[in-house]
Amino acid sequence: MAIIVPTLEEIDKLKQKPTSGESTLLTFLSNLNDEYTVYFQPFLNGSLPDFIILHRTKGILIIEVKDWNLNLYKISNNHWYVQTSNKPAKVKSPIKQVQDYKEHIFSFIQGFVEDSIHQSSKFGYVQTAVYFHNMPESEALNFCRECREYNRWVTILGSDSLNFDRFRNMHFFRSNLSQDFTNRYYHEFQLLFAPSIHLLELGKEITYSKEQQKLIKSKKGEVKIKGVAGSGKTFVLAKRAVNAQKRTKSRVLILTYNITLRNFIRDKLNQVRDEFPWSMFHIDNYHNFINTMANEYEVEITNYEDLNLFDNVEIQKYNAIFIDEIQDYNYNWQMMIKKYFLVKNGELVVFGDEKQNIYGTTLDQWDINTIIEDEEWKTLNESYRLSTVISELALSYFEKYLKRRYKKLEFSTQQELSLETGYIGDVHANFIDLEPFCDFIYQYIHEQKITYNDVVILGRHIKTLREIEYIFRTKYHLQLTKTFETKETFELLNRKFHKQPWILNDKLQQVRKNEKIAFQMNRGTMKISTIHSFKGWEAENVFLLLENPFGQDEDAVDEELIYTGITRSKSKLLFLNLEITKYQSFLHQNREIVNEIIK
């Protein structure tokens, strides 16, 4: 018998019972042997595919179940419609739905999308099928062939398909994958699909300040919280989110703007000293969340700001929603979240940092238009992260470049928790290429006996970062955790699609999205990232690139970015001057705390 997750007994106790089609298919799949694990509606950060089958050598099969009477459906101009009492209503193609599940699964595994570009057979590690419970296979197949998205790699199953002769002929059951899947990916997918519990003893003893203690209490209502860099906003978010889950005994939604912060927030949840099921936390960025919800509720997205997008859709709402980086959310996004996904009188908490608006919004814009009705901001002013000299530099930088755009920066360092004075270096060199800078970083790390896991290299431009990653990987044989494609991947895609820049850009964005979603700090490797993608994260040692490759004047967004880069460092901060920029004079003016390094 197949391993069923959750067990058949647990499925019988679910509030939302399986449909007739799901129940029939579940009974059939349970007769597979115990080499197969069948997951029923696993929670994949918002997605709930009906069935996922995992096998050590055959890979993954996703099956979407439809109890539809296809006589009530039609396909016109590649759109699916169902006949209602009034008029035909548009629904999402189940073929597109199951393909979106496949892409969603790929996004969780670091490097999978990029590896698949170099070895396209890896896309075959995940197979898809749609099971139409109320229609014979031949009729369902003829119907689906009218859909442009249909291809022979999507298996169409019908009411007469549930027999082992038919299943044995499916590509998933006939083929055996290479050892690459078994050795490299099987265990990662197993961890992804299996529900898990966070145990109390896995958390840390965290001492919350009086300000923080007031804010971590979960209760109904709307609250907005802002704080300086390192003030513990995410610690507050994580603890209050866990408290909200325990209070409501329901799933909690946590939203960010920066997609890389999903794992950062998960790390902070992991540090909370409490017991909770991981499946009770849905962590996502806005656009990914809307995509996921549209796929779940079979809605076609026309506009991410369409406040009527989910009208007439019965949505399972959240009792508690937390939004980080609220300064980067426009008003319509906030309205969309509140209107469709928050229960009436639910808990809504938003977190902002007015000094990190690196996407072009200003405090005045969203301070007035925030959906939180309470005008008062709860404020966290004390920094628990930044060392003394880095907080001093951040203050000096604010006074010089950001003061004219923001209110006064209230910023005090908690000496009890920030005992290290820190170190700031300003590296000057007459290097004409990037390799000597990489040599300096490598030598500095070893001279200072710094572990690779505590190092991040930040810059504005992917082109520069891509070259640095290539040098470290090929010269020093170091694997770096990154948020973008390798040099080889870029060159391969550029050769194939240089005459089709829109396709090139789409392929690059797919790789970058995968790298950002899977980005984690504690893999034992150095990190390399754009400042945008590292926003919200922190590291003991930061190498910050100062460059101006296009010979342009640094603008306001650049000034915001450099501030963000400065405040990512907890201990050591080294500026690498790749080109002449206006920041050199600023660093020179702060020689009391900034050490000049001439190479």
Lowest mean pLDDT among 116-130, 176-190, 511-525, 550-564: 550-564
Q: What average pLDDT does the chain have?
A: 89
* CATH for 198-380 (2.40.110.10, 3.40.50.300, 3.30.2270.10, 3.90.550.10): 3.40.50.300
pLDDT (tens digit per residue) in 295-330? 999 888 889 999 999 998 899 999 999 999 898 899
pLDDT, greater one: 175 or 539: 539
What ranges in 90-232 are assigned the alpha helix state H?
94-107, 112-118, 137-144, 164-168, 171-174, 179-180, 186-193, 210-215
Token couple for 380: 């966290």
What is the dihedral sign for C-alpha 341, 345, 346, 350? positive
Q: Which of 196, 227, 197 lies closest to 211 in space, CA to CA?
A: 227
pLDDT (tens digit per residue) in 266-302? 999 999 999 999 999 999 999 999 999 999 998 888 8
Q: What is the pTM of this model?
A: 0.86
Q: Which of 191, 202, 199 lies closest to 276 in space, CA to CA?
A: 199
Bridge partners of 481? 527
Looking at residue 154, its amino acid is V
Q: Which of 234, 224, 231 lies closest to 256 in space, CA to CA?
A: 234
3-class DSSP assignment, residue 11: helix
CA distance 5 to 519: 27
Q: What is the pLDDT of residue 552?
A: 60
Q: What is the pLDDT of residue 370?
A: 75
Number of CB atoms found within 10 A of residue 422's CB: 19
Q: Are 542 and 569 in contact (CB under 8 A)?
A: yes
Q: Are 327 and 356 in contact (CB under 8 A)?
A: yes
pLDDT (tens digit per residue) in 395-435? 899 899 888 776 655 555 443 344 457 899 999 887 889 99
Q: Are 468 and 434 in contact (CB under 8 A)?
A: yes
Evaluate whether 198-380 and 388-483+519-598 have a shared fold: yes
3-class DSSP assignment, residue 416: coil
pLDDT (tens digit per residue) in 145-170? 888 777 888 999 999 999 999 999 99
Q: What is the pLDDT of residue 328?
A: 87
**383 φ/ψ angles, rounded to the nearest 5 degrees:** -90, 125
Average pLDDT for 1-21: 92
Average pLDDT for 533-552: 86
Domain spans of the chain, in order of start: 3-195, 198-380, 388-483+519-598
CA distance 381 to 410: 6
pLDDT (tens digit per residue) in 18-54? 999 999 999 999 999 999 999 999 999 989 999 999 9
Q: What is the pLDDT of residue 358?
A: 43
Strands (E), 312-454: 318-323, 342-352, 378-380, 382-383, 412-413, 423-428
CA distance 421 to 355: 23
Q: What is the pLDDT of residue 88?
A: 85
Average pLDDT for 439-459: 97
Give the pLDDT band (50/70/90) at residue 371. confident
CATH topology of domain 388-483+519-598: Rossmann fold (3.40.50)
Q: What is the pLDDT of residue 96?
A: 92
